[in-house]
Amino acid sequence: MDVAGSNTRPGGIYVVAATKGNETEFWAAATRRGDALAAVQQLLAPGWTAASIMDWRLTPKRVAALKLRTDSVCKL
């Protein structure tokens, strides 16, 4: 995963860990921090839980490649 320094969006892009049993997926949420878990949870399949916001920062290159709009979410 491409992580480093700071991101380029004013609201931030937060990396959210989603879990189901022993499995973990990582999602990017271009939301306010307080909305990131709920935004990811809305897209998860039944049985998955948006568990925590990771203390990771995506590199500017990775942020650009994701092409996320404000208030959107995508699986990493």
pLDDT digits 0-9 by tens, 6-52: 333 445 899 999 999 999 999 999 999 999 999 999 999 999 999 99
Domain range for residue 26?
Answer: 14-75
Task: Tell me if 29 is assigned to some domain.
Answer: yes
Give a yes or no: residue 4 inside a domain.
Answer: no
Query: Tell me, what amino acid is at 35?
Result: D
Quick check: pTM over 0.85? no
Number of domains in the chain: 1
Interatomic CA distance for residues 35 and 59, integer angstroms: 21
> Does residue 25 form part of some domain?
yes
Residue 6 lies in a domain: no
- Say if 21 falls within a structural domain: yes
The reported pLDDT for the residue numbered 57 is 87
Would you say 73 and 43 are in contact if contact means Cβ atoms under 8 Å apart? yes
Task: Tell me whether residue 26 is in a domain.
Answer: yes
